[in-house]
Amino acid sequence: MPDIVIHTNKLTKRFGNFIAADEITFEVEKGEIFGFLGANGAGKTTAMRMLCGLSAPSSGEATVAGFDVYKQTEQIKMNIGYMSQKFSLYEDLTVLENIYFFGGIYGLNKKDLKSKSEVLLNQLGMHHEAKKLVKTLPLGWKQKLAFSVAILHQPKIVFLDEPTGGVDPVTRRQFWDLIYEAAESGITIFVTTHYMDEAEYCNRISIMVDGKIKALDTPANLKKKYGATNMDEVFFELARGAKRAE
Amino acid sequence: MMRTIRYLLQKEFKQIFRDKSILRIILIIPIVQLLLLPLAANYEVKNINLSVVDNDHSVYSNLLISKITASGYFKLQSYDASFKKAMGNIESDRSDLILEIPQNFENNLIRDNEEQLFVAVNAINGVKANLGGAYLNTIVRNFNGDIRLQLITPQKINPMPVIEITNANWYNPFMNYHLFMVPGILAFLVTMIGGFLCALNIVKEKEIGTIEQINVTPIKKYHFILGKLIPFWLIGLVVFSIGMLISYLVYGIVPLGSIAMLYGFVAVYLLAILGFGLLVSTFCQTQQQAMFIAFFFVMIFILMGGLFTSIDSMPPFAKIIAGLNPVSYMIDVMRMIVLKGSGFDDIKFHLLKIIGFAVVLNSWAILNYRKTT
């Protein structure tokens, strides 16, 4: 029996009459790379925000890293990393200052901060940029940095909301190398994306349509099930019926 | 956890000192406000434009006119042949007042012992014209008194005892308006810096999305709030000190009361006004919203806080509002300590109320700040 790190049961979020996430039920295992797919407006970000403790669910239940999303949001926050759609490091701080700040508020001590930032800068090849303001970096570098900062405190799970939007193919490849490395070190990856090649990199994927989860399996099984040769076709097959326009 | 707050403070100060435009504003605001406002804002009305219609052309009427122009308050705008012409000056806004001296002014004054003068006031600029009317009244009364002294022989007893009122302006003997305005402007300054900077700073984090990154960390709400409060509290005290320095260097104002007590009060007041800023920021999503809401309140706070118009002469409902207005206590205490040299006993109720504001506003802000929506 593998460890379950995310468990949801009929998790729902309503905004007035609008049901952004409609009774979603799924489980994510430890160390998995879990792809969370769906068209714009399908409810991916809403679901993710509920799991991160940023948004209170309307009904249903869910646990993240063993903690309840209603009552134990602060414990959840100790155990997760999060990278939102908007770039969210401080642009007017340097690379190193961002690393120290976010590491510091997760409670890393001076010694850890020093060694971890060293490792991180090596990994990203950003030694020369350590003292540059983040706003001067190209987008791809910023995203890689944001990811590394999000897992600096070795969370159990990291949530990535369209981390590679607008990033060039080479940098995207490098980004996924970072994701694999993190997964190998035991961090569970929960990632949303619109790139179907990236979906293929995931262990399992779910596809959301109009707030509901329509499919959940490994990429290979999904392709078999829908008689498709690639993930693009699977996605089209499922998302074509979507009623919600952007 | 002191460590978390330390990291927050480091980050905040780095950002503040990197933002050169904000830094410049922090320095420029006190200098400009303290140099400009006290010199411009003056309750004394001068340069009242006067039109005179002299129908008498006598020695006395000339004497009266020269007395009026010599007072320094009036500028003789025109010397008209008829009231109608003078009225034309008022209509075209060249004059604020008309003084009409009737025919036989001199004769009537001496023979009948009485005479009427006619004063017409342009009430469009009501304050100026009314004050002008009052000044004119005083001058005419003095003139009258002078003539009586000359006419009435010493043996005769004045038919009516005259009570003369003389004024002594305590705490500000020369009615120096700078002395009155500067402490008020210092209060205004601290309010602006405290009320706006902090609110805008937090809402900016909402706009660019970094607050979400903060909200997903295990940071405690009060850590975050303290991390924002402390830097702007210190900035407020620095700005206040710059202001005090300018008022000493430019206007020679040295507080009569204890400077330590003044700082103590300002320190607490800043907490209250920062709490207001924090509270505004919890309700707003954009800097534009925050700016307008903060501006709306600060505007009312300042205008009803007794900086320009006295609270004592406001109607009852306005006095109640002033009681709920932290700025009015600040302006009051500034003037009390700086001009009167008031001691702790005099300001303790003010202090208590400001502590009340600080506690209520900050607790409300912390309660209203949501890490989870």
Domains of chain B: which residue ranges? 2-41+175-368, 48-151
Closest CA to B347 of B266, B254, B270: B266
- Which residue range forms the structural domain that includes residue A27? 4-239
Q: Write out chain B residues lying below 8 Å of A52, CB-based.
A: 216
Residues A54, B209: C-beta atoms closer than 8 Å = no
Dump the DSSP string for A144-171.
HHHHHHHTTT--SEEEEESTTTT--HHH
Percent of chain B scoring above 70 in pLDDT:
90
Q: Does A11 reside within a domain?
A: yes
CATH of the domain at A105: 3.40.50.300
Q: Residues of B near A (CB-CB distance < 8 A)?
A: 1, 3-4, 6-8, 10-11, 14-15, 18-19, 208-210, 212-219, 371-373
Percent of chain B scoring above 90 in pLDDT:
24
Taking every pair of Cα atoms in chain A, the longest distance, rounded to a whole number of angstroms, is 54
**Identity (one letter) of the amino acid at B189?**
L
Q: How much is the pLDDT for B232?
A: 92
Q: CB within 8 A of B264, min separation 6: which ones?
A: none
Closest CA to B135 of B106, B160, B109, B99: B99
Q: CA-CA distance, A35 to A222, in Å (whole number)?
A: 13
Do the beta carbons of residue B17 and residue B23 sit within 8 Å? yes
Summarised one tens digit per residue, pLDDT across range B127-183 is 677 777 778 888 888 887 777 666 655 555 555 555 555 656 666 655 567 777 888
Residues A93, B14: C-beta atoms closer than 8 Å = yes
Helices (H), chain B: 2-18, 20-40, 59-70, 83-91, 105-111, 126-151, 177-192, 198-208, 210-215, 221-251, 259-283, 287-303, 316-323, 326-335, 344-368
Q: CB within 8 A of A140, min separation 6: which ones?
A: A167, A168, A171, A172, A174, A175
Residues A88, B210: C-beta atoms closer than 8 Å = yes
Q: Write out chain B residues lying below 8 Å of A56, CB-based.
A: 372-373
Q: Residues of A near B (CB-CB distance < 8 A)?
A: 52-56, 73-74, 77-78, 80, 82, 84, 86-93, 97, 100-102, 104-107
E strands in A74-154: 80-83
B35-41, long-range: CB within 8 Å, 24+ apart, which pairs? B35/B246, B35/B250, B37/B181, B37/B185, B38/B177, B38/B178, B38/B181, B38/B182, B38/B185, B38/B251, B39/B178, B41/B177, B41/B181, B41/B308
Residues B213, A105: C-beta atoms closer than 8 Å = no
Query: Tokens 């959940």, residue?
Result: A216
**Identity (one letter) of the amino acid at B248?**
Y
Q: Does A112 reside within a domain?
A: yes
Q: Does A204 reside within a domain?
A: yes
pLDDT, averaged across chain B: 84
Dump the DSSP string for B163-178.
PPP----TTSTT--HH
Residues B373, A77: C-beta atoms closer than 8 Å = no
Beta strands at B118-121 and B97-101: parallel, antiparallel or unpaired: antiparallel
Q: pLDDT band for B370, please (50, 70, 90 cuts).
A: confident
Beta strands at A204-209 and A33-38: parallel, antiparallel or unpaired: parallel
Q: CA-CA distance, B193 to B25, in Å (whole number)?
A: 10
Summarised one tens digit per residue, pLDDT across range B300-349 is 888 888 877 777 778 888 888 888 899 999 988 988 898 888 888 888 99
Q: How much is the pLDDT for A203?
A: 92
Neighbours of A178 (CB within 10 A): 17
B362-365, long-range: CB within 8 Å, 24+ apart, which pairs? B362/B225, B362/B229, B362/B271, B362/B274, B362/B275, B362/B278, B364/B275, B364/B279, B365/B225, B365/B275, B365/B278, B365/B279, B365/B281, B365/B282
In the sheet with A67-68, reading across from the earlier edge strand, the strands are A18-29, A4-15, A59-64, A67-68
Q: CA-CA distance, B80 to B69, in Å (whole number)?
A: 15
All residue ranges of chain A with pLDDT < 70 are 1-2, 244-246
Beta bridge partners of residue A83, listed in sequence order: A160
Do the beta carbons of residue A57 and residue A70 sit within 8 Å? yes
Q: Write out chain B residues lying below 8 Å of A84, CB-based.
A: 209, 212-213
pTM of the model: 0.79
Q: Write out chain A residues lying below 8 Å of B373, CB-based.
A: 54-56
In the sheet with A33-38, reading across from the earlier edge strand, the strands are A80-83, A157-161, A188-192, A33-38, A204-209, A212-217
What's the DSSP call for residue A210? T
- What total of structural domains would you count in chain A? 1
Query: Tokens 């040769």, residue?
Result: A229
Summarised one tens digit per residue, pLDDT across range B270-310 is 999 999 999 999 999 999 999 999 999 988 888 888 877 77
Question: Sign of torsion, CA A66 A70 A76 A78?
Answer: negative
CA triple B209-B211-B213, angle to 5 deg: 85
**Identity (one letter) of the amino acid at B42?**
N
Residues B4, A89: C-beta atoms closer than 8 Å = no
Q: CB within 8 A of A65, min separation 6: which ones?
A: A5, A6, A75, A76, A79, A80, A156, A157
Q: Does A245 reside within a domain?
A: no
Q: Which CATH architecture has domain B48-151?
A: 3-Layer(aba) Sandwich (3.40)
Q: pLDDT band for B1, please (50, 70, 90 cuts).
A: low
Residues A54, B218: C-beta atoms closer than 8 Å = no
Q: How much is the pLDDT for B263?
A: 94
Q: Write out chain B residues lying below 8 Å of A80, CB-based.
A: 216
The structure tokens listed for B257 are 């009361």
Closest CA to A119 of A167, A176, A182: A182
Four-point Cα dihedral B21, B24, B26, B30, nearest 10: -140
- Is the per-residue pLDDT at B269 higher than 90? yes
Do the beta carbons of residue A24 and residue A15 sit within 8 Å? no
- Give the CA distances from residue B94 to residues A145, B91, B130, B263, in Å, rounded to whole numbers and listed in that order: 70, 8, 16, 48
Quick one: average pLDDT of B22-50? Answer: 79
Q: How much is the pLDDT for B67?
A: 84
Summarised one tens digit per residue, pLDDT across range A136-194 is 999 889 999 999 999 999 999 999 999 988 888 899 999 999 999 999 999 999 999 88
Considering A122-131, B46-55, B92-101, B135-144, the range whose residues carry the highest mean pLDDT is A122-131
**Identity (one letter) of the amino acid at A155?**
P
Q: Write out chain B residues lying below 8 Å of A89, CB-based.
A: 210, 213
Q: CA-CA distance, A82 to A73, in Å (whole number)?
A: 14
